[in-house]
Amino acid sequence: MSLICTVTPAPEEAGLAQLCRKLGIKEMVPPETVINKVIVYPGRNSWSLEVTGGAPIYAAWRLSLEKSLAAALGLTKVEIVPEAAPEENPEKAAAEVPEMGNETETSTAAGDDISEEEYMAQLEKLRQERENQLAAEALAARETKVIMGQAVKEEPVSLEQIADEERSVVVTGRVFNLNRREMRSGRTLLTFDITDHTDSLSVKLFLEKEDEEKASAIKEGTWLMLRGAVQHDNFTQELCLMPRDIMLSPPRGVRLDNAAQKRVELHLHTKMSALDGVSDVAAVFAQAAAWKHEAVAITDHGVVQAFPSAYKAAKKHGVKCIFGVEGYLVDQADEKAESHHIIILAADQTGLRHLYELISLSHLRYFYRKPRLPRAELTRLRQGLVLGSACEAGEIYKAVLAGRSDAEVEALAAFYDYLEIQPLSNNSFLLEQGRVASLDDLRRLNRRIVEIGRRLGKPVVATSDAHYLHPEDEIFRRILLAGQGYAEVENPAPLYYKTTEEMLAEFSYLGEEEAWRVVVEDSRRVAAMIADDLMPVPKGFYPPELPDADKIISAMVHKRAREIYGDPLPQLVAERIDKELAAIIGHGFASLYLIAHKLVKQSVDDGYAVGSRGSVGSTIVAFLCGISEVNPLAPHYICLRCHKFEAITDGSVGVGPDLPRRDCPNCGTPMKRDGFDIPFETFLGFAGDKVPDIDLNFSEEYQLRAHKNTEELFGAENVFRAGTIGTLAEKTAYGYVRKYLDEKGLHRRSAEINRLVAGLTGVRKTTGQHPGGLIILPKGREIYEFTPIQYPANDRESNIITTHFSFDDIHEQLLKLDILGQSGPTMQKMLEDLTGITVDQIPLDDPDTMAIFRGLESLGIAPEDAGGPIGTLGIPEYNTRYVRQMLEETRPKNFAELIGIMGLSHGKGLWLDNAQELVRQGIVPLEKTILCRDDIMLFLIRQGMPAKDAFRITELVRKTGSTISAADEELMLQYQVPRWYIESCKKITYMFPKAHAAAYALNAYWQAYAKVHYPLFFYAAYFSIHAEEFDASWATMSKQELHAKLRALNEKGNAATGKEQGIAATLEVVIEALARGIRFLPVDLYKSQVRRFVPEDGKLRLPLISVQGVGLKAAEAIEQSREERPFTSVEDIKKRCGLSKTVIEVLAAYGCLEHLPETNQLTLF
DNA sequence: CAGTCGTATTTGTTATC
DNA sequence: ATGACGATAACAAATACGACTG
Ligand SMILES: Nc1nc2c(ncn2[C@H]2C[C@H](O)[C@@H](COP(=O)(O)OP(=O)(O)OP(=O)(O)O)O2)c(=O)[nH]1
Ligand SMILES: [Mg+2]
Ligand SMILES: [Mg+2]
Ligand SMILES: [Zn+2]
């Protein structure tokens, strides 16, 4: 391509200020300064801009502007020369300009023909070239950087060649799996793996304190050149590199795209193409940016689930994301119809909405093995869509392959906006299958598509059909396909994301000019049809609105508040209510509260208590609406008779239940003590900088009804179950890799296995439903504005419809009610039914109840029967080894500490190597450590930090997957936050809100109360809920036998399966129950319930389901049939209940059928 | 009567709160 | 034995059985 050497832009297109703005130069430019002429000197490194007009050009700003221009354009020198001024450097111009005359035809006259667009494009091109060069130079400079030891100049050997110990080798590779561990000696052990894509190798490095700084250059993803010894590592039992010399090195095998004008990829799959694509979207856009590709289309098979992360990545890297799909086009909706691949791109907002509707239709109405799309639907929603003919499975390629006539193919092609051609090797399987005779035939097919496109005036675009990013990533897809049982292909199609140059070379058989058109020009033409700045999910927040929800909530809250706190309300209560209502209503949460209230009320009316959960308990409004049992006010006394109110705000008591009992000074009534002292902002943040949900724990038995009720209240068309995306995760990925290697008889080091596993993880496998999240669409909006919809796992039998996107992707825009299932409320209902006591009658300062969190005194059993010295077996959230160990160490005395332990025991990095150490080392007492997320926010605010920052930092700490940045750390230091506090924050990976800890502590305490005072009922309820992990054979075993069983299970340690671990946990409780005098009655065909343990003569009767092998169906069938009439024989029961041979066998083996004859001759006649 | 398909049960794995 | 976040639901696969089909 020729370079301009002298340009005279048209006057209206050549403002200097305009140029500066385009180049991002912020400096002042005198207005109306017009570039008269641009002289480009040979080597293109030096320009002279001849300008006229504008303010006088002072030397000072001119020099500075020249520098900026040079930097922005990537030139060594730019001169701004006023017109009429004498040439500053006449010799240079005179000497060099004639030389350029040879390579360019341009002159002042020719320059007039160049439009500003072209002119700017040229400038941009030069700027980019310069940038590339600078980047290359920077890389070159960096690559020489020695991290440790000496520079390594030798050529490395490839990692696959390393099979034995070696004195000294030189290798190179990309760092992954980086781990840093502090040794007791004070040294740091740095371990990481490197890969050069032929194989991988572990590297082990001991760092002295003084080396740490240098070693910080070793990061995930950096390329290193290393020299050292390969040794057999005793710990890992594998070869391992002990490097002496390490230096940064340029990555090997990196593909560059040096084309002056870049192609646009219009056919690319991500990991959302189920069990097929292995490219990571973020990496795709990073690569696109590195190659300076301006846009990339995301076209997964039938789904658009990559859009949200694609959008984020595209934005981050300044690349345009084209939102598309590779759909399955059918002409009729019947199951036999042949489907054709088709690329559908959204050109604008309407198109995107149409695309979401099409995706929904294809999943809900036309799904048959694949989400198929009838042509009629596509035609109906055609507006805003750009259609491409896709790959060899598209109808155009098929038609051409079948040798259909021009007229026929052109008729088909009329449906599309552009035609696609792909590299020959994408289709070379046709050759292998004998469907075409030669490579030339394949070329002819592509040529024919090009000709048809040209005749019809439609763009013809060369696309990759990328399923992975780089050629070397093919191994991931190979394993993925092998894992599904596909036969391995000899020469798999090279489905990687191609550079412009690779594509130009591939299509060179079309001729240079045509190749350039299909690769560059037409791909850009199609990209230009697509609007910039499309967003997969709109900005903004769309809360549902029920009529008068704000007024209703406000009235309800005030009414209930007055019932408890009297009229007028105490100031503290009134202020809190006012503040909350303003925020809740102001931020659009009133309707959500109202619905939550109605749901709770309905459940309670139906006899099912509802448990509190989540951050919503931080709000007094929730408490007063009945959504939460947690009262977030400061600890206080309240007389429910005369409303005498007294708040304790001096910090002497943590939570209300810990206040000493007291009678009302006015009327002598025992006062209620309440208030868990929780800030409202944990729910909504400050000024609405957070979108929370409302969480509710319904009984599992009631959850489905609660979902139905929500649909009724909002209207089914406005309620959608949040969808989830099931991916190939660690274990399955590992299984695939193992299987692949085993089948091929290959042996790989764990470093290489790790690399392969990492390449596979995250690939979409299936879709599912959120545990309880219902997304509420406001009236008057369409779900397609936000997300497509589908059935979970595409099960058309399901009566649940989920969002296509996972909740996280629409979390900022739409509200969610989390209607979860939990055993707490089921326990509560069972216990209320059995004991006749409701939870509000349970005193929160019962010493015997509190005692089980500290020891065994109130249970009166020995530690060996209680799994240790703490009495919380069977108490939710406090019953694991880990938490009991924590209780043993902390011995909580009161409710506040119970809540603290609840917080500390849930999340990684909170207790071990954190709070525990701080307490042990005497740095702070337990109550001063970080116990819940609210603590962090309040502490930072007390230190003087602005509330918004305090809240933001808290959110970073509390959420899985985020931590505080170096800048935040700096900010904390600025407010005298102690070092230990900062370090503690950095170790926290997840943390409860106090409201949740309080709600769960309450629930646990209520159950503990039953465990202490109503053991038979407690165990009845507990085992009913854990019947799955109960083995009916235990009923007749002695405590010693059960202990032996438990020991056997415990000895399995890590080798125990999930099921076995569950069984072991229940077994511990069984042993404890026995020790407390509980006796079990065996399963009985007539007396046993289906799934509940029931008290019978002071003992517990096992349910049918507790027999292993008797499932729910069988148990229910038995229950039903026995009510009709007694069973007369084994044959009778088998027949009437429809039991399988297996069920009969397990029942017989258990002894249930002993009194029954085998057959029943009597009734035969 | 061999093969296919649907149902029941258990188990492993993943996602989410 | 170690070190350990806990609870819940849903999907897929494995297995076994039994009914249906050609
Ligand atoms: N043990 C444990 N409990 C969790 C975890 N994630 C969530 N929970 C519990 C505690 C949360 O308060 C509760 C509700 O979860 P949410 O995702 O709705 O978060 P939360 O309500 O705390 O904050 P939010 O205001 O909704 O952002 O569920 C977890 O990883 N481990
Ligand atoms: Mg929540
Ligand atoms: Mg939630
Ligand atoms: Zn009183």
CA atoms within 13 A on the CB side of A810: 32
> To test the ligand 1 pocket, which listed residue (A880, A911, A990) has its Cβ within 8 A of the most ligand atoms?
A990
Q: Which residue has the tokens 């949200």?
A: A308
**Across all strands, nucleotide nearest A734 (CA–C1'):** B13
CA atoms within 13 A on the CB side of A923: 15
Q: Is A934's C-beta closer than 6 angstroms to any atom of ligand 1?
A: no
The three-state secondary structure class of A960 is coil
Residue A1037 tokens, joined? 């075993």
Measure the CA angle with vertex A855, ends A852 and A857; round to 5°: 85
Query: What DSSP state is assigned to residue A265?
Result: B
CA distance linking residue A859 with residue A854, whole number of Å: 11
Residue A992 CA distance to nucleotide C5 C1' (Å): 11
CA A860 to chain centre: 47
Class of the domain covering A144-248: mainly beta
> To test the ligand 1 pocket, which listed residue (A592, A615, A678) has its Cβ within 8 A of the most ligand atoms?
A615
**Across all strands, nucleotide nearest A1111 (CA–C1'):** B9
For A654-696, what is each residue's pLDDT tens digit?
Answer: 999 999 999 999 999 999 999 999 999 999 999 888 999 999 9
Measure the CA angle with vertex A342, ends A339 and A343; round to 5°: 155
pLDDT band at residue A877 under the 50/70/90 scheme: very high
Residue A921 CA distance to nucleotide B13 C1' (Å): 40
Region of A384 on the Ramachandran plot (φ > 0 left; ψ -120 to 50 alpha; else beta): left
- State the average pLDDT over residues A784-808: 95
Q: What is the pLDDT of residue A12?
A: 52
Q: In what order do the strands lie in the sheet with A764-776?
A: A611-612, A694-699, A815-822, A764-776, A719-727, A802-806, A789-790
CB A951 within 8 A of CB A682: no
State yes or no: pLDDT of A222 exceeds 50: yes
Measure the CA angle with vertex A5, ends A3 and A6; round to 5°: 135
Ligand 1 atom with the shortest distance to the CA of A616: 21
Residue A338 tokens, joined? 């042949």
Which residues, at least 6 apart from A785, have a Cβ–Cβ distance to it below 8 Å? A353, A356, A538
Q: Which residue has the tokens 């354009």?
A: A73
Q: What is the pLDDT of residue A1159?
A: 76
CA distance linking residue A605 with residue A1139, whole number of Å: 38
Other CB atoms within 10 A of residue A163 CB: 11
CB A683 within 8 A of CB A584: no
Residue among A964, A903, A911 nearest A935 (CA): A903
Q: Is A770's C-beta closer than 6 angstroms to any atom of ligand 1?
A: no
- State the average pLDDT over residues A182-209: 88
Range name among A110-114, A1098-1102, A1154-1158 with the lowest pLDDT average:
A110-114
Complex ipTM value: 0.97
A316 CA distance to ligand 3 middle (Å): 28
Q: Is A990's C-beta closer than 6 angstroms to any atom of ligand 1?
A: yes
Which percentage of chain A shows pLDDT scores above 90?
76
Residue A60 tokens, joined? 């000072």
Question: Are both A846-906+994-1013 and A1019-1150 of the same fold?
Answer: yes
A700 burial level (CB within 10 Å; 0-12, 13-18, 19+)? middle
Residue A204 tokens, joined? 């082990």
The three-state secondary structure class of A601 is helix
CA distance linking residue A240 with residue A203, whole number of Å: 6
CA distance linking residue A711 with residue A43, whole number of Å: 70
Query: What DSSP state is assigned to residue A3?
Result: P
For A340-360, what is each residue's pLDDT tens digit?
Answer: 999 999 999 999 999 999 999
State yes or no: pLDDT of A196 exceeds 70: yes
In degrees rounded to 5, what are phi and psi of residue A465? 55, 45
CA distance linking residue A7 with residue A19, whole number of Å: 14
For A881-914, what is each residue's pLDDT tens digit?
Answer: 999 999 999 999 999 999 999 999 999 999 999 9
Q: Is A959's C-beta closer than 6 angstroms to any atom of ligand 1?
A: no
Measure the CA angle with vertex A1047, ends A1042 and A1049; round to 5°: 95
Q: What is the pLDDT of residue A61?
A: 53
CB-strand contact A724/B, under 7 Å: yes
What is the second-level CATH architecture of the domain A1019-1150? Orthogonal Bundle (1.10)
Residue among A595, A594, A576, A587 nearest A685 (CA): A587
Q: What is the pLDDT of residue A145?
A: 83
A814 CA distance to ligand 3 middle (Å): 13
For A52-93, what is each residue's pLDDT tens digit?
Answer: 765 545 555 566 677 777 777 767 677 777 665 444 444 444
- Cα dihedral: A851, A854, A859, A860 (round 10): -120
Residue A1047 CA distance to nucleotide C16 C1' (Å): 32
- Give nearest CA residue, ligand 1 atom 2: A906
CA distance linking residue A877 with residue A883, whole number of Å: 8
Query: What DSSP state is assigned to residue A394?
Result: B
Choose between A111 and A113: higher pLDDT: A113
CA distance linking residue A632 with residue A594, whole number of Å: 19
CB A307 within 8 A of CB A298: yes
Query: What DSSP state is assigned to residue A1073?
Result: H
Residue among A7, A211, A243, A220 nearest A105 (CA): A7
CB-strand contact A1058/B, under 7 Å: yes
β strands within A478-635, DSSP E: 611-612
A614 CA distance to ligand 2 middle (Å): 5
- State the average pLDDT over residues A792-817: 95
CA atoms within 13 A on the CB side of A82: 11
Range name among A206-215, A220-229, A529-538 with the lowest pLDDT average:
A206-215
Fold classification of A846-906+994-1013 (topology level): DNA polymerase; domain 1 (1.10.150)
CB A178 within 8 A of CB A219: yes
CA distance linking residue A439 with residue A424, whole number of Å: 7
Residue among A1144, A1141, A1162 nearest A1153 (CA): A1144
CA distance linking residue A1115 with residue A1137, whole number of Å: 9
State yes or no: pLDDT of A107 exceeds 70: no
Q: Which protein residues have Cβ within 7 A of any strand C atom?
A: A 700, 703, 726, 765-769, 771-772, 792-793, 795, 798, 820-824, 876-877, 879-883, 885, 905-908, 912, 960, 990, 1025, 1050-1051, 1053-1055, 1140-1142
CB-strand contact A614/B, under 7 Å: yes
Q: Which CATH number fits domain A281-527: 3.20.20.140, 3.20.20.70, 3.90.230.10, 3.30.420.40?
A: 3.20.20.140
CA distance linking residue A1130 with residue A1119, whole number of Å: 15
Strands A385-388 and A340-346 turn out to be antiparallel
CA distance linking residue A926 with residue A826, whole number of Å: 33
State yes or no: pLDDT of A111 exceeds 50: no
CA A356 to chain centre: 21
CA distance linking residue A534 with residue A417, whole number of Å: 20
Residue A25 tokens, joined? 């130069």
The alpha-helical segments, DSSP class H, found in A306-345 are 307-317
SS3 for A444-510, per residue? HHHHHHHHHHHHHCCCEEECCCECECCHHHHHHHHHHHHHCCCCCCCCCCCCECCCHHHHHHHCHHH
Q: Which residue has the tokens 């013809």?
A: A460
pTM of the full structure: 0.87
CA distance linking residue A810 with residue A786, whole number of Å: 7
For A46-61, what is each residue's pLDDT tens digit?
Answer: 677 777 765 545 555 5
State yes or no: pLDDT of A112 exceeds 50: no
- State the average pLDDT over residues A1042-1058: 88
* End-to-end Cα distance, chain A: 101
From the CA of A640, the nearest ligand is 4
CB A563 within 8 A of CB A604: no
Rg of chain A's alpha carbons, rounded to an integer?
Answer: 36
Range name among A64-73, A208-217, A325-334, A373-382 with the lowest pLDDT average:
A64-73
Residue A948 tokens, joined? 């918004």
Range name among A140-149, A318-327, A413-422, A460-469 with the lowest pLDDT average:
A140-149
Q: What is the pLDDT of residue A14?
A: 64
- State the average pLDDT over residues A930-953: 97
Region of A313 on the Ramachandran plot (φ > 0 left; ψ -120 to 50 alpha; else beta): alpha
Amino acid identity of residue A1035, one-letter, is A
Q: What is the pLDDT of residue A940?
A: 98
Paired strand residues for A232: A239
The domain limits of chain A are 5-135, 144-248, 281-527, 549-593+606-692, 697-822, 846-906+994-1013, 908-991, 1019-1150
CA distance linking residue A280 with residue A271, whole number of Å: 6
Q: What is the pLDDT of residue A438?
A: 94
CA distance linking residue A421 with residue A449, whole number of Å: 7
A471: preceding bond cis by omega (within 30 degrees) = no
CB A346 within 8 A of CB A385: yes
A47 burial level (CB within 10 Å; 0-12, 13-18, 19+)? buried
CB A1160 within 8 A of CB A1131: yes
- Indicate the helix (H) or strand (E) that contains A687: none
CB-strand contact A729/B, under 7 Å: yes
Domain spanning A697-822 has what CATH number?
3.30.1900.20
Q: What average pLDDT does the structure give for chain A?
A: 90
CA distance linking residue A1022 with residue A357, whole number of Å: 47
Q: Is A692's C-beta closer than 6 angstroms to any atom of ligand 1?
A: yes
Q: Is A989's C-beta closer than 6 angstroms to any atom of ligand 1?
A: no
CA quadruple A989, A992, A994, A1000: dihedral sign: negative
